Amino acid sequence: MFLLSMVPACVLSLVTLSALPSMAPSSDDVASPDWETQEAAFLNDPVQLTFHDRFVKAGESYFSPDGEKIIFQAVEQISGMPPADFYAMFVADTVRDESGRTRSLENIRKISPEGSANTCGWFHPIDPNIVIFGTTMSPPSENTPPGYQRGSGRYRWMFPPEMRIVAADLRTADGTPGTLDPLVGDGTSYTAEGSFSPDGRFLLYTSLDSGQGDIFIKDLATGTITTLISKPGYDGGPFFSPDGRRITYRSDRHANNLLQVFVADLAFDESGAITGVDREIQITDDANVNWCPFWHPDGQRMVFATSAVSHRNYEVFLVDAAQNDDALPPSMKYGTGMRRLTFGPAADVLPAFDADGSEMIWTCKRGASETSQLWVAEFVANLDSPSAMPAGAYGQPASENGAKQK
């Protein structure tokens, strides 16, 4: 197994998925002959969106609120030149068929500065012309230490101290630093993995300013920055729930090189400002690497990637993440309803939904491509049916209710 203790939610921004030998299928991890049939029960008609003739590799991606655009990170093919060392940030328009399904991308444009390292793009929830992403603005310093390295220089990711979160207006962004508006981070410690609250008031992000990777929130109305999660280990990749009352993230809480998925209830004051966390709930508790959680729009479930099937073949799973509520069935609790969504022969990671949950976009290696590229499929899982997978069946035995409340 390989270590992921310090990987951001957007790990693919700074690591080559195709370069990870432990993610390549072995004879023990080859998908079953009917894997496409198994997957079709959840993801219908998968479509490849990025291709190797344009991109060496593509990574984390998200839909705009109106579904008309996506933001993603990728390394472009440059004729006669070696691939860039870092991901650039791109925006593209979605091309849809008569039924509304995403079929391809057009008008792909780069919005990050030349030579910079970039990660974790995200759209403003109200104005789809405004995006944020993490960037070093210019090439990161050569002495930036890798967060982890094994075997060779290709197998690494880094946490450049120059990384900060910026905003860009797509009507004027041209890939130059002058069209980027710094929001948080001063270039002295890695600051990235940002996302907005549903109303656009709060910026949620991870920073190494404290030395261990903690989760912070900035009230964009007042400029106030509040620490939300400062537990031991690297906590990162945070996203707001659709109602803005909770967040999800992944953590190396026990410093055992395994990642677990968490949810936290937020605390608010009378003015509506977020003041901290009321309660933290551990969604996964097993011997797997569980990361990049993302909410389903119903706010009662989430998807995440896990090594539960194999450390050589990450797959996407769905899990219940509903607040304990008398109006909900007793079976729907944090950590229950676990089910596997992807069944391919290579890594499937970084899942995300569009605004209504009708489509899921993710990063994987399948088809003719030998490197990570973007795929999208119609999400057709029957969310009302109970999971056929008993608690703990996808990995180590789960604790009661499948979750630990802290």
Going from the C-alpha of 362 to that of each of 160, 244, 316, the distances in angstroms are 25, 23, 9
Domain assignment of residue 354, yes or no: yes
Q: Which of 332, 348, 350 is nearest to 391 (CA)?
A: 332
Domain assignment of residue 247, yes or no: yes
- Residue pLDDT tens, the chain, 406 long: 233 333 444 543 333 333 333 333 344 455 677 899 999 999 999 999 999 999 999 999 999 999 999 999 999 998 888 888 899 999 999 999 999 999 999 999 999 999 999 999 999 999 999 999 999 999 998 665 444 333 333 334 578 999 999 999 999 999 999 999 999 999 999 999 999 999 999 999 999 988 889 999 999 999 999 999 999 889 999 999 999 999 999 999 887 878 999 999 999 999 999 999 999 999 998 999 999 999 999 999 999 999 999 888 899 999 998 876 556 555 557 888 899 999 998 899 999 999 999 999 999 988 776 789 999 999 999 988 777 665 555 654 444 444 555 5
What is the residue range of 216's domain?
Answer: 11-405
Domain assignment of residue 3, yes or no: no
Domain assignment of residue 4, yes or no: no
Record the pTM.
Answer: 0.88
Domain assignment of residue 20, yes or no: yes
Domain assignment of residue 360, yes or no: yes
Q: Are the beta carbons of 274 and 202 closer than 8 angstroms?
A: yes
CATH of the domain at 392: 2.120.10.30
Domain assignment of residue 5, yes or no: no
Q: Are the beta carbons of 121 and 89 closer than 8 angstroms?
A: yes
Number of structural domains in the chain:
1
Give the list of residues 6+ apart from residue 329 with CB closer than 8 angstroms, or none: none
Give the amino acid at 307.
Answer: S
Q: Are the beta carbons of 17 and 57 closer than 8 angstroms?
A: yes
Domain assignment of residue 268, yes or no: yes
